Amino acid sequence: MNGREIPDAELLEIVGSSVDEDQGAREDGLIVLDHPITEGDKEYDRINLTEPTLYHAMSASQVIGKRPTLATIYDSQIKLVALSANIPEKVVKQFPTRALDEAVSYVMAFEDDVRRPEDFQISDLDLRPEKTILFKVPISGGGREYSDMRLREPQVTEHRRFKAVEGGGSVQDGLKAQMQLIEDVSGWNRAALLRLPMSKFVEAADYLTGFFIAGQQTGKLSR
């Protein structure tokens, strides 16, 4: 995770709880500002962006709330960039608009490049009965380290729990539902899940939810 290592307990506050590639495979993005920004006793002229984690995405989604507006979505993007770069939001708000656009494009690409396209076909779904995602650098959480994530088709109980959380209707509820589903199927600790790079979170979520889509549209067994 970029910057300060966040303790498990602090990670879990975001969800109201008490306590085939490795993460960070893509190189950091660099935004060079023509005019340095001064905030406090620091000067910012080069902004290093890293892949957002699920924790970053959950934190940014809080800003949107139940009824998204253009303003709250924009605020969410500002927060996501700040978290990904480990800099204050006040600094991001002083970016030239095109610099922010470039930063948003970079951090969102980790999710957008992996997420299932809207015009997908049923034949495009990965409906293998099992899937394993490997991490060369283990991800820690709950006193454990995880070097792989083993997934399989969700059970009815797990699907129902997913629907119950997703029913909240907000962007964050959608992320929470996917996280709950991955947690149920994989057995990963929630703190470790919150440290997942977004590209890996999306890969896992799309695989699991693909079974729901296949069943709804075909009415047949998905394998």
Average pLDDT over the chain reads: 89
Q: Is 169 in a helix, a strand, or coil?
A: coil
Residue of 158, 198, 213, 206 lying closest to 180 (CA atoms): 158
**Count of H-run helices and E-run strands, the chain:** 9, 4
What is the second-level CATH architecture of the domain 128-218? 2-Layer Sandwich (3.30)
Rg (the chain; Cα; Å): 18
133 Cβ contact list (under 8 Å, min separation 6) = 20, 148, 149, 151, 200, 203, 204
Angle subtended at Cα 59 by Cα 33 and Cα 110, rounded to the nearest 5 degrees: 60
Longest Cα separation, the chain: 62
Within the chain, all domains assigned CATH 3.30.2220 are found at 128-218
**Tens digits of residue pLDDT in 42-99:** 999 999 999 999 999 999 999 999 999 999 999 999 999 999 999 999 999 999 999 9
**Tens digits of residue pLDDT in 144-190:** 999 999 999 999 999 999 999 999 999 999 999 999 999 999 999 99
Q: How far apart are alpha carbons 200 and 5 in whole angstroms?
A: 19
Burial 148-174 (b: 16+ CB within 10 A, else e): ebebebbeeebbebbeebbeeebbbbe
pTM of the model: 0.83
Residue of 159, 152, 204, 170 lying closest to 15 (CA atoms): 170
